[in-house]
Amino acid sequence: MKRTLTITLLAVAAAGAQAETYFDQARVRRVDPQYESITVPRNECTSQTVSEVQPVSGPPQYAGALIGGVAGGLIGNQVGRGHGKEAATALGAVVGALTGDRLANAQPTGYMEVPRQVTSCRTVNEVQTRLTGYRVAYEWGGQSYTTFMRDNPGSLMQVRVSVEPVVR
């Protein structure tokens, strides 16, 4: 008997403790769009034309090689004896010609301005505003409520109502 009474009481308590849920319409009082600011980096590049001074060489000068060859040959002729004198003269003429050519043609004959494009870039942070949702104030059952929604609900919105008894 006690067991039957206990089971009956538990069944009644379980049925009574279950909440009843239903849907209803609430009147929307106010909708405020909510925004957030985000920073988006982007590259900003500019091009400028600058003038650059560059050395200009004229046609090759052969006088330096000629003078260097003669001077080297004379110096080489002063060194050595017999067939060694001939070799020293020839070697002195070659080294003198190469040195004279290098000295004569190493210096630029003039300078010229040459235009050149220079591109410089920098990162600029651009602030953009993005809609995140809506703060909605609504009224249901004589009470005022506020919630956040992704979409604008319009003038009426559906609400879920849950009723459950208070157990003491």
- Is residue 3 included in any domain, yes or no? no
The predicted structure's pLDDT at residue 16: 47
Q: How many residues does the chain have?
A: 168
User: How many domains is the chain partitioned into structurally?
Assistant: 1
As a whole number of angstroms, the distance between CA 123 and CA 45 comes to 9
7 pLDDT above the threshold of 60: no
The predicted structure's pLDDT at residue 2: 59
For 90, the domain range is: 58-107
Prediction pTM value: 0.44
43 pLDDT above the threshold of 80: yes
**Average of pLDDT values for 120-129?**
94
- Is residue 82 included in any domain, yes or no? yes
**Residue 99 near residue 68 (C-beta atoms within 8 A):** yes
- Is residue 119 included in any domain, yes or no? no
- Is residue 86 included in any domain, yes or no? yes
122 pLDDT above the threshold of 70: yes
Distances (CA, A) of 121 to 42, 49, 154: 10, 15, 47
- Is residue 73 included in any domain, yes or no? yes
As a whole number of angstroms, the distance between CA 31 and CA 1 comes to 60
As a whole number of angstroms, the distance between CA 61 and CA 59 comes to 6
Residue spans of alpha helices (H) in the chain: 2-17, 63-77, 83-106
118 pLDDT above the threshold of 60: yes
Give the rounded distance of the alpha carbon of 66 from its chain centre. 60
